[in-house]
Amino acid sequence: EVQLVESGGGLVQPGGSLRLSCAASGFTFSSYEMNWVRQAPGKGLEWVSYISSSGSTIYYADSVKGRFTISRDNAKNSLYLQMNSLRAEDTAVYYCARTLPWRTYGMDVWGQGTTVTVSS
């Protein structure tokens, strides 16, 4: 079964850091591009970051550029999101999502999400 499982969410103070992980199984992780998408409470979906299958190409939303770092370990079938200088507006459920394997950039598999709360 194709599956993505996020972990690492929690409560953190403003200005703090957190590292999210996403464990992939049931498919050849190293062949797929991946994304992080977040959803603030009661709000819509917001794309956060993208990484190519090899990790050589990375993009970020303007709202997190310079504060968040996406990475992957294909040997461990894992995707990561290092979040620094966290703000209250980063409070959200964070999903990892697999990119469709052709260049139209939809997302066909999603994890269940992990909740990040930034509050003092």
Minimum Å gap between C-beta 47 and other proteins is 4
- Only one of the segments 11-19, 71-79, 81-89, 102-110 lies at the binding site for other proteins (rule: CB under 8 A); that segment is 102-110
Local structure of residue 88 (DSSP, 8 states): G
User: Which 3 state secondary structure label does DSSP give 60?
Assistant: strand
Residues 96, 4: contact at Cβ < 8 Å? yes
Minimum Å gap between C-beta 77 and other proteins is 19
Minimum Å gap between C-beta 8 and other proteins is 16
User: Site residues for other proteins, window 62-101 (CB under 8 A)?
Assistant: 62, 95, 97, 100
Minimum Å gap between C-beta 33 and other proteins is 11
For residue 52 the two structure tokens come to 């190519």
Beta strands 10-12 and 114-118, pairing class = parallel
C-alpha angle 22/83/107, rounded to 5°? 40
The CB-side HSE value for 85 (13 A sphere, CA atoms) comes to 7
Site string for other proteins, 20-39 (x = CB under 8 A): ---------------x-x--
Binding site for other proteins (CB under 8 A): 35, 37, 44-47, 50, 59, 61-62, 95, 97, 100, 104-108, 110-113
